[in-house]
Structure 1
């Protein structure tokens, strides 16, 4: 006789609905309480029960009601625990996301710093000597001023110091006319038209500048001039909107 084939196993997909079981329990509890109360009232209305029967029924109902109350409290506590668990999970998730963002920001900063030092120590053939590396601007909200940070670097041969002066000018429009303003006239941190520098690897020039009323900045021009045996010049122009877009 041929072996009887077993029917193929069937799988039923049930959608997972968080909290559904608890809500269903609460509904059943409420329905049971209402039905019990209605039955008890109807029995009294018929008048067919003796006092002893009514008393016994009342005791049974009280027991059932107490049981249902216990189930209700348990269901409510489960619901509270569920909602509390969700809140904790969400809080943990938000904390994890913040940590990830902080780590990503830190990693990006470290990568930028690493690239910066690598470029100084191992430059390409076309980028050696004095360089205007970067210029950063950030708003100083309470005062309406701008904080600036200019970075000059010496790429390649760092065995000896490089010295000279760097001039920074802000180019813009005022009263429909082009105007060039030296950084010295915008910042109390800068005293000279040419800012002196001397370094082996890099040097930062930092401070705060305040734009005059009615002046619309367009560009920032930086010209660095090395003096002495390493005489050279580096020039770079930065777009104001690109510097302040973040």
Structure 2
């Protein structure tokens, strides 16, 4: 028996496109154009104002920058002047200190000399006659060499000269034993055991001495003897350490 059924028909829905009306297209184009013009105008106006503001503030900024630079230069110059002034002040202060130190040393020497002459011209009763006034040592180049200066004075009676001899001995230790060395054996400036003197007020005995190796001094003994009508004797012992430190 033949199939009387017809094949199922397929239905497809196709949208129908309507043609746009020309006036709508024109309207949209005009609207877009107006929007673009308005946006461009607004943007340009705002940008123009910003550029104008910068252009107007530029001279002010330039003046401010110039003022800051000028102030900086002034401060820098002031700093340089202060530094120079400080350096000059420091130099002046150091010079003043050196001058004061020199004046103090001069004053001390003058006072010592004044005391020295005062004691000679107006002594006390206990210090008249021949005196061993002082002994000084000065290190020479650290080679166990010393410049020495011994001062003898005549105190009180200065109307006539006093004469005699003075002997100087250095007492120390060598190889564990005490040893006494006369100044003659240590100095080329002294030829005899006793150095001759003759003076009215005072006399200096000066020269250079050299200590032998392995000899450690600890005392200097000075004995001065006057001869004739003013015969007398004066003795004094000095510690080497104090002499060397002074």
TM-score of the aligned structures, taking structure 2 as reference length = 0.77
Cross-structure match for 1:207: 207
Within 2, Cα distance between the matches of 1:90 and 1:119?
43
Report the Cα offset of residue 57 of structure 1: 2.6
Cross-structure match for 1:63: 63
Report the Cα offset of residue 68 of structure 1: 0.7
Which runs of structure 2 are paired with 1:1-246 in the superposition (5 Å)?
50-141=50-141, 143-246=143-246
Structure 2 unaligned spans of 5+: 1-45
Within 1, Cα distance between the matches of 2:146 and 2:48?
92
Report the Cα offset of residue 196 of structure 1: 0.4
Within 2, Cα distance between the matches of 1:49 and 1:214?
101
Within 2, Cα distance between the matches of 1:86 and 1:182?
57
The verdict on how the C-alpha distance between 1:47 and 1:114 changes in structure 2, with shifts beyond 3 A counting, is farther
Query: What do the CA deviations read for 1:47-102 (whole angstroms, capped 9, x no partner)?
Result: 67544433333332222111110011001111222222222222222222221111
Query: What do the CA deviations read for 1:149-193 (whole angstroms, capped 9, x no partner)?
Result: 000001111111111110000000001100000000000111111
Report the Cα offset of residue 142 of structure 1: 6.0
The verdict on how the C-alpha distance between 1:144 and 1:175 changes in structure 2, with shifts beyond 3 A counting, is closer
Within 1, Cα distance between the matches of 2:48 and 2:239?
97
Within 2, Cα distance between the matches of 1:158 and 1:194?
23
Runs of 4+ in 1 over 4 A off after TM superposition: 46-50
Within 1, Cα distance between the matches of 2:181 and 2:95?
47
Report the Cα offset of residue 211 of structure 1: 0.1
Within 1, Cα distance between the matches of 2:149 and 2:172?
20
Cross-structure match for 2:37: none
**Aligned positions, number:** 201
Within 2, Cα distance between the matches of 1:201 and 1:47?
108
Within 1, Cα distance between the matches of 2:164 and 2:208?
22
Structure 1 unaligned spans of 5+: 1-45
Query: What do the CA deviations read for 1:94-132 (whole angstroms, capped 9, x no partner)?
Result: 222221111111111101000000100111111111110
SS in 1 for 2:96: helix
Within 1, Cα distance between the matches of 2:217 and 2:90?
45
Report the Cα offset of residue 208 of structure 1: 0.3
Cross-structure match for 1:22: none
Q: Which structure is larger by alpha-carbon Rg, 1 or 2?
A: 2
Report the Cα offset of residue 239 of structure 1: 0.4
